[in-house]
Amino acid sequence: MGFQTPQYTLDDYLARTVSGAIQLPDFQRGYKWDDERIRQLLVTILRGHPMGVVMLLDTNNDEVRFKPRPVEGVRLDADISPTHLLLDGQQRLTSLTQALTNDGVVETKDSRGKLMSLRYFVNISKALDGEGSMDEAVISVGEDGRIWTNFKRDVELDLSTPDLQREQGYFPLNLLFQPVESQGWILKYAMIDQKLAGRFHAEVLTPAARYSIPAIELDRNTSKSAVATVFEKVNTGGLELNVFELLTATFAGDADYYAEHGTDFRLNDDWRETRAVFESQPVLQEVSSTDFLRAVTLLATRRKHLTDIRTRPTAVSARNEDALRLSLSEYLQWRDPLREAFLWAAGFLADRHIFDTRFLPYGTHLIPLAVIKVIVGADADLRGPRSRIVQWFWCGILGELYGGTTDTRFVRDVMLVPDWARAVDGARVPTTVQDAQFVESRLHSLRTRNAAAYKGIYALLLENQARDWMEDKRLDLVQHRELAVDIHHIFPKKWCADHNIDDEHRESIVNKTAISAKTNRSIGARAPSHYLDLIERNAQITTDQVDEVLDSHCINHSLLRNDSFDGFFSDRREKLLGLVESAMQKPAQRDVSQGYFVEGSSQFEEAEVAESADESVDDSIPGAVPDAALVSVNGH
């Protein structure tokens, strides 16, 4: 990538935006500036102060072929091919193009967001009072040239005709770079005040005509990924460019698609169709356009990798720079299979009792899950492959392996899980299954939904055929919503506080389970021995029936009825470990029950902080957890 840093006059920029020589890439967002920002920009120009740089991309580039569109407000008579695309400076050049050319009408909004059509003028006498008065000199008026008051009953200022403008001493800024019209306006104004006319021409109009703006021009060797990187770093509007927006413009310029269909491909419209497909599945509501493109990229690069006969074949990837290399044909090849695969993933999650995004451990986990489904195909629903995919899924969640940077894990899982799931000869066990570990003490530090493992264990409890305590209903998809099921304390918080139960044990997931809002109200702040009797009476069930329900929640009913917190906690911790081991199909590391971990140590608090802040626990913290156990405590 090379670049130059020329300086062009504002007049030159305006001529090029109006002619279509400078246009916007189609991925650029719409014009957003309000009246005051436009007015202040014009003040900056008239004061001769710098307004920053703009960034341009040479369009004579074989790799980067974005579909262009004119700067907003510009109407081109023909399909003009630009020489440069405007990457940075859209809001500024759009404002100046609209305000300083043609009729000077700018489509903008006021400070409250109300849409307005405005024109801009400068008061001649105030502009000549010195630099400090320029802010007061520049004003905006309605498209009709008037400022109205009293609910548009009275005209405060009327600049609707050139004669009225000259009479009241207001120069229309749309004439600033129209020398013939500007000269004619000033000559007629000189008949009113020759001295002011001369000074205004010399001190305002002439310096404005020389106003220049530096540019950074990216040359024809600039790659698409470099454009994305540069745009993200320098865009002054604070709106980060993403891969989806770049591909929107790239795909729209696909000549083969246009030749076949007679129209451009609109990626935005296509994504809206995809979102409509996902609409019925709450768990898919946070799948983003870039998530979908990462899945497409994994499949496209995997296909190239498997068919590439070179010594160093194409790498499988989900990275942005590789997504930017996608062709429209590759996108269309994988779009429909992936739409179906994401819907399949929603059903897969429902079978795991994960029904919506609130309880989805990792949103990123959906990407490889859908990709694996596309690769495995119909075999993904056979008992054998399905059971292995389920194991891989739980290892990723309970081993907390899908937080943070995930690109490398995506690739490894996409390359290893399909063959392993289908028991292909020579298939290797996926690294996610190998890496996953769960340490007993992690149950103490799982306290909020910030942790994937917390949500995972909640889902495992529901999958354990847990039933509501009050109503005879399984906590499946329908009842989960109908009963307003959530995670609540088993030994209530107030009871724990009254009996000196520390935060570590009280707030641990060991002391929480899934119950309905109605059941939780029945529990209140009562001791278990009290509220169980209340539930038995209100639900009109026997003690044995209550005990059976408690068993489905991995709760020892005898210990709970005796208000024995310590015994309950140790017993349920072991039962939850059993659920974890069954899901991961590998043993958990027991440190607390084996005496390798000091309960109540600060390490639990550190783990909780890391869980909330998505940071790793400092492994220099002293404690009795073995190094291997720290892997799970830290969530890595």
If pLDDT is split at 50, 70 and 90, which confidence band does 626 have?
A: very low
Look over the chain and give the mean of its residue pLDDT values, rounded to a whole number.
85
Residue 66 scores a pLDDT above 80: no
**The pLDDT value given to residue 274:** 97
> What one-letter code names the amino acid at 539?
A
pLDDT of 88 > 80? The answer is yes
Question: What's the mean pLDDT in 497-501?
Answer: 94
| pLDDT score for 484 | 63
Query: What sign does the CA torsion over 223, 225, 226, 230 have?
Result: positive
Q: Which amino acid type is present at position 20?
A: G
Q: Which residues contact 535 (CB under 8 A, 6 or more apart)?
A: 469, 470, 519, 522, 523, 546
Q: In whole angstroms, what is the distance from residue 135 CA to residue 138 CA?
A: 6
Convert 503-522 into a string of H (helix), E (strand) and C (coil). HHHHCCHHHEEEECHHHHHH
Mean pLDDT of 62-85: 83
* pLDDT tens-digit map of 301-333: 999 999 987 778 889 999 888 888 899 999 999
pLDDT at res. 448: 87
The set of residues, in sequence order, having a beta carbon less than 8 Å from that of 87 and lying 6+ positions away, is 25, 55, 56, 57, 218, 227, 230, 231, 234, 235
Flag whether pLDDT at 144 surpasses 60: yes
Predicted TM-score (pTM) of this structure: 0.67
pLDDT tens digits, residue range 405-458? 788 999 999 999 999 999 999 999 999 999 999 999 999 999 988 899 999 998
Instruction: Render pLDDT for 89-138 as a digit per residue (tens, 0 to 9).
Output: 889 999 999 999 999 999 988 777 788 899 999 999 999 998 788 999 99
Distance CA 553, CA 490 (A): 10
Banded pLDDT at 238 (limits 50, 70, 90): very low
For residues 202-228, average pLDDT: 83
Calculate mean pLDDT across residues 248-253. 75
Q: Given the DSSP bridges, would you call strands 106-109 and 115-123 parallel, antiparallel or unpaired?
A: antiparallel
CB burial readout 149-179, b (16+ within 10 A) else e: eeeeeeeebbbbebeebbeebbbbbbbbbbe
The confidence band for 473, taking pLDDT boundaries of 50, 70 and 90, is low
pLDDT of residue 229: 60
Question: pLDDT tier at 64 (50, 70, 90 boundaries)?
Answer: low
pLDDT of 295 above 90:
yes
Structure tokens at 91: 């809001």
Assigned token pair, 309: 């006969």
Is the pLDDT confidence value at 188 over 80?
yes
d(CA 555, CA 535): 16
Exposed, middle or buried, 268 (CB in 10 Å: 0-12/13-18/19+)? middle
User: Is residue 609 pLDDT above 50, yes or no?
Assistant: no
Residue-level pLDDT at 613: 32
pLDDT of residue 617: 29
Report pLDDT for 130: 81
Q: What is the mean pLDDT of residues 492-499?
A: 93
**pLDDT for position 634:** 31
Averaged pLDDT for residues 57-73: 80
